[in-house]
Structure 1
Amino acid sequence: MLETSARLLEVLSLLQIRRDWTSAELASRLGVSARTVRADIVRLRSLGYLVDARPGVSGGYRLAAGSALPPLLLDDDEAVAVAVGLAAAATGRLGVEETSLTALAKLEQVLPAHLRHRVDAVRQATSVVPGAESRLDLSVLGAVSSAIRGHERLRFGYTKPGGAEEPRHVEPQRLVSWGPFWYLLAWDLQRDDWRVFRVDRMAPRAPTGARFRPRLILEKDVVAFVVGRVAAGARTHHARVLVHAPAAVVAAMIVPLPVDVQAVDETTCIVEVSADDPRRAALWLAQLDADIEVIEGDELAESFRELASRFGRASSARRATGHASDGQRRSIPPRA
């Protein structure tokens, strides 16, 4: 029975590798008779796999698309490639971050130890352009995701903005990706209330295995709660600006700040932005490559004036002749 089950998995794997197989080809690869191959195809069909057969000398078998996804049988190299690809997508800006993360959590849960070491080796041997790297440890993201999927309570150390770390014990509900950050919405067991945690500040402890019944909260309420809590809790400067660019173009930008984009018409939109430092908001808005009008936010308007003055001085400075902007001569090192 074990030999038959192993052979069925091998048949399924072969059908996933190539579009068409003749009965003779399958028999040769498996080391069995054509009659055994036909019997194996019947067994796969009885298990719900749609295997089409074409009669004749040039006929053969083909795995058809069905209503359910069959288990994918990956060799070692394929499994490593999928894990590394999912890890990259989980911290990208492709719109599939959350599904990539859950798929990665499932895959890493069943990866043999030697393959997990290979995946880790690829991560450690990979470099990225400075400023483009993720500030998030994927192992932390995976641990949080697994706790959510398994409805398991989560203990972790949480580093507060001031730098102090405190222990937290929560029932993790949902992960929300916003700009360069991931946030966890969880029920805090110590405070008996909902709390939002930045995942890059979390250090998960060993799991206890204690399970909980998830609390009912709608997806739209999850996002609204996280956005509201983050914007209100850490941002002190708020502004509204009119941007002369389509809302879709502005929304597609990589946003390092909490923003809300609302379309006015096909060519303009209103952007509400919050930031600890209005100069940071001004610098990001300047990257939109579009005309901007400040509707509300005196601090943001002043930051634009300061930047305009600074950029004006930069454009008029005569570095090539070694003259400083204050008229004092400076020594400029030669280009390497």
Structure 2
Amino acid sequence: MPDPTARALALLALLQAGGVHAAPALARRMAVTERTVRRDVQRLRELGYGVDAVPGPAGGYRLGAGASVPPLVLAPEEAVAIAVGLRGAAIGAVGGLGEAALSALAKLEHSLSDEARERIAGLSQSMVGLGGGSPVDLEAVVLVARAIRERRRLRIHYRRHDGTEVRREVEPHRIVHTAERWYLVAHVPEQHAWRTFRLDRLEPRLPLGAPFPERAIPDEATARFVGSSIATAPYPVRCRVVMRASLAQVRQRFGPQIVEAAERDDGTTLVVFGTDDLDASAVYVASAGFDFEVLDPPALRDALARMGERMRRAAGAGSGAES
């Protein structure tokens, strides 16, 4: 590999795989001498890449943080994956991120091969944002993420579902994104409880508060907690329905942000959700395509009866037409 630029990029690709790479191993992979490896490491540093030298018997080189944001060496599949993510960010619900995402996408496409550019163009043309989610301020997301990373308490002003405003000091744990919205999962010390907060209703305040001890919660448990909170907590009416279908079938029809679901011993599935519109919920439950039984509230059964009567009248509206 005689070309110094091509050789440096090849070295960069090896380092980007992560971990510590011994100089002899790098030299063998690149079919060069260790002295050449050291020169190429210096060349990468001059270009702004943070290449750290790790001393000791198990030492070598690893890619660290640079002084700027230098270019990456990406495989075609990696470039397409990043492009899809940027396109999603451009049509997503984080305010202030769309323009930056589109700019980054344009730069990425400009540097790719024709084949990769065509694949990305096809994906971009097929992706459409439906909107509907409330926009989230980018600076708020960045500040919340910083508090999570530094494990510092965060003071927030929060607007509840009913419009009332509260002030809280929380211990932020994770940011969770659903199909439409962003949520903060945090522990509230004064309540000794975990809570979810919609980021579009949240205003974080500086300075950050005191450090707090880590509370280990698996990401799967965090996702289940958010799903449960979204599906039931904000609504005045709590509904319980038994679907005559497996848990997997119910999950295909209803996302975790819509309902809580638990499989029962007889193979049916208990579905729990909150609502402020029983007529709309009656339509939604009936359209799932499964037989079902309403456990409570009785008002949901009444809404289903009204809907059934309307359907019956609609089905019989043309029965008197001449043949």
TM-score, with length taken from structure 2: 0.56
Query: What is aligned with 2:103?
Result: 118
Query: CA 1:313–1:165 in structure 2 vs 1: closer, same or farther (change >3 Å)?
Result: same
Q: Could you tell me how far apart the structure 1 residues matched to 2:143 and 2:39 are?
A: 41
Query: What is aligned with 1:271?
Result: 271
Moved more, 276-285 or 231-240: 231-240
The AA in structure 2 aligned to 1:240 is: R
Query: What is aligned with 2:37?
Result: 40
* Displacement after TM superposition at 1:163 (Å): 2.6
Superposed CA RMSD: 5.0
Q: Could you tell me how far apart the structure 2 residues matched to 1:263 and 1:155 are?
A: 41
Query: What is aligned with 2:9?
Result: 10
* Displacement after TM superposition at 1:311 (Å): 2.7
The answer to whether the Cα contact below 8 Å between 2:176 and 2:184 also exists between their aligned partners in 1 is yes
Query: What is aligned with 1:212?
Result: 211
The AA in structure 2 aligned to 1:82 is: I
The answer to whether the Cα contact below 8 Å between 1:237 and 1:299 also exists between their aligned partners in 2 is no
Query: CA 1:167–1:269 in structure 2 vs 1: closer, same or farther (change >3 Å)?
Result: closer
Query: CA 1:73–1:210 in structure 2 vs 1: closer, same or farther (change >3 Å)?
Result: farther
* Displacement after TM superposition at 1:273 (Å): 2.9
User: Unaligned regions of 5+ residues in structure 1, if any?
Assistant: 18-32, 50-70, 93-100, 102-107, 109-113, 322-336
CA displacement 1:143-198 (0-9 Å, x = unmatched) = 43342122133333322223344444322123455675543232446x46434322
CA displacement 1:55-103 (0-9 Å, x = unmatched) = xxxxxxxxxxxxxxxx99258x9889727616839x99xxxxxxxx9xx
User: Unaligned regions of 5+ residues in structure 2, if any?
Assistant: 17-29, 42-58, 64-69, 108-124
The answer to whether the Cα contact below 8 Å between 2:262 and 2:269 also exists between their aligned partners in 1 is yes
Query: CA 1:141–1:115 in structure 2 vs 1: closer, same or farther (change >3 Å)?
Result: closer
Classify the secondary structure of the residue corresponding to 2:238. Answer: strand
The AA in structure 2 aligned to 1:118 is: S
The AA in structure 2 aligned to 1:247 is: L
Query: What is aligned with 2:134?
Result: 135
Classify the secondary structure of the residue corresponding to 2:253. Answer: coil
The count of corresponding residues between Structure 1 and Structure 2 is: 252
The answer to whether the Cα contact below 8 Å between 1:236 and 1:276 also exists between their aligned partners in 2 is yes
Q: Could you tell me how far apart the structure 2 residues matched to 1:224 and 1:254 are?
A: 14
Classify the secondary structure of the residue corresponding to 2:200. Answer: helix
